[in-house]
Amino acid sequence: MIEEVLRVLPSYISNEIVKLNCANNITEIRIRTKSKIIVRCSKNEYIIDFITTPKIILDILLNVSKNSIYAIQNDINNGFVVIRGGHRIGICGEVVYVDSKIKNIKNICGLNIRIARQVFGCADLVLPKIIKGNTMLNTLIVSPPGCGKTTLLRDIVRQVSNGIPSLNFSGKNVSLVDERGEIASIYEGVPSLDVGVRTDVMSNAIKSSGMKMMIRSMSPDIIATDEIGKKEDIQAIKEAVLSGVSVIFTIHGDSLNSINKNDDIKELLNLNIFSKIIILSNGKIPGIVEKIYDTESLGGAI
What's the rounded mean pLDDT across residues 80-103?
Answer: 89
Which pLDDT value is given to residue 181?
Answer: 79
Which pLDDT value is given to residue 302?
Answer: 40
Which pLDDT value is given to residue 189?
Answer: 75
Distances (CA, A) of 199 to 60, 76, 161, 206, 229: 33, 28, 6, 18, 23
| CATH architecture assigned to 2-114 | 2-Layer Sandwich (3.30)
What's the rounded mean pLDDT across residues 197-226?
Answer: 94
Total Cβ atoms within 10 A of residue 288: 13
Which pLDDT value is given to residue 301?
Answer: 40
Distance in angstroms (rounded) separating the CA atoms of residues 149 and 169: 23
- Residue 13 Ramachandran class (φ > 0 left, ψ -120 to 50 alpha, else beta): alpha
Nearest to 74 by CA among 45, 101, 110: 101
Residue 53 has pLDDT above 60, yes or no: yes
Which pLDDT value is given to residue 58?
Answer: 95
Domain-wise residue ranges, the chain: 2-114, 127-298
Distance in angstroms (rounded) separating the CA atoms of residues 291 and 281: 8
Is residue 297 within 8 A of residue 291, CB to CB? The reply is no
The vertex-53 CA angle with 44 and 86, nearest 5°, equals 55
Q: What rounded mean pLDDT belongs to the chain? A: 90
Residue 286 has pLDDT above 70, yes or no: no
Range in 46-60, 142-156, 166-180, 271-285 with the lowest mean pLDDT = 271-285
Which DSSP string do the residues of the chain spell out, in sequence order? Answer: -HHHHHHHS-HHHHHHHHTTS-GGGEEEEEEEBTSEEEEEESS-EEEEEEEB-HHHHHHHHHHHTTS-GGGGHHHHHHTEEE-TTS-EEEEEEEEEEETTEEEEEEEEEEEEEEPP---TTTTTTTHHHHEETTEEPPEEEEE-TTSSHHHHHHHHHHHHHH-BGGGTB----EEEEETTS-SS-EETTEESS---TTEEEEES--HHHHHHHHHHHH--SEEEES---SHHHHHHHHHHHHTT-EEEEEEE-SSHHHHHTSHHHHHHHHTT--SEEEEE--SSSTT-EEEEEEGGGGTS--
Range in 186-195, 213-222, 226-235 with the lowest mean pLDDT = 186-195
pLDDT band at 51 (very low <50, low <70, confident <90, very high): very high
Q: Give residue-wise pLDDT tens across range 107-152.
A: 999 999 988 888 899 999 999 999 999 999 999 999 988 788 999 9
**CATH class assigned to 127-298:** alpha beta
Is residue 157 within 8 A of residue 163, CB to CB? The reply is no
Q: Which residues contact 24 (CB under 8 A, 6 or more apart)?
A: 2
pLDDT band at 285 (very low <50, low <70, confident <90, very high): low
Interhelix angle 263-270/231-242, rounded to 10 degrees, is 20
Reported as half-sphere exposure (CB side, CA atoms, 13 A), residue 154 has a value of 23
Which pLDDT value is given to residue 284?
Answer: 62
Distance in angstroms (rounded) separating the CA atoms of residues 137 and 258: 22
Which pLDDT value is given to residue 63?
Answer: 95
What's the rounded mean pLDDT across residues 4-27?
Answer: 91
Range in 38-52, 86-100, 125-139, 276-290 with the lowest mean pLDDT = 276-290
Q: Give residue-wise pLDDT tens across range 262-271.
A: 888 888 888 8
Which pLDDT value is given to residue 212?
Answer: 94
What's the rounded mean pLDDT across residues 247-263?
Answer: 90
Distance in angstroms (rounded) separating the CA atoms of residues 90 and 30: 9
Residue 26 has pLDDT above 80, yes or no: yes
Residue 300 has pLDDT above 50, yes or no: no
